[in-house]
Chain A
Amino acid sequence: QVQLRESGPQVVKSWETLALTCSVSGGAINSYSWNWIRQSAGKGLEWIGRIYSNGNTNYNASLESRVTMSIDTSRRQFSLKLTSVTAADTAMYFCTGRGILTGMHYWGQGALVTVSS
């Protein structure tokens, strides 16, 4: 059973960089794609991007210019950086793992990040 937990600052100032880390327990790191998904209050789910254990990434085109994902397989962690944040980036951020062969998803509990002016 894969378990994920997000960590990082709950408040980020406008135009600064949002940085979150997801710690993974259980499962083989190279058997999953590791994703970040966010949800603004009262809105739907928005995929931010994914990273594989070899470092390959795909990003949402609407965020690509501001997003960087990285992974540290030895520490079983992957990270999200989102630059130049605005109030529109205030959201619950979820890290997830999706089985490459199975397609099964695992979700973290989420981390609420508020962008303050």
Chain B
Amino acid sequence: SQKIEQNSEALNIQEGKTATLTCNYTNYSPAYLQWYRQDPGRGPVFLLLIRENEKEKRKERLKVTFDTTLKQSLFHITASQPADSATYLCALDAGDRDDKIIFGKGTRLHILP
């Protein structure tokens, strides 16, 4: 069955450093991979989408890489700030083959001042 793995432990990063979160998947061929931020009790907020034929995508302090051979995506936040503290969810999207996206369990990120 499809499986998405994200760092199960919380990640503590010093303010100003780069935070790197990992998303690995098996038994799936996503057309897109999406990253969301979720704060406690709130809905996920869409951050970035990367297509299967793209290696890297950037948006302000965010960078996502996508390696379909390794079946892995890395999500980087540079110059991290305490306000970046949240849970970050990786989601797989099969595109036209499937309507829904499937979420990983998320990684809790704490940026320490």
A associates with B: no
Tell me the B residues contacting A by CB distance below 8 Å: none
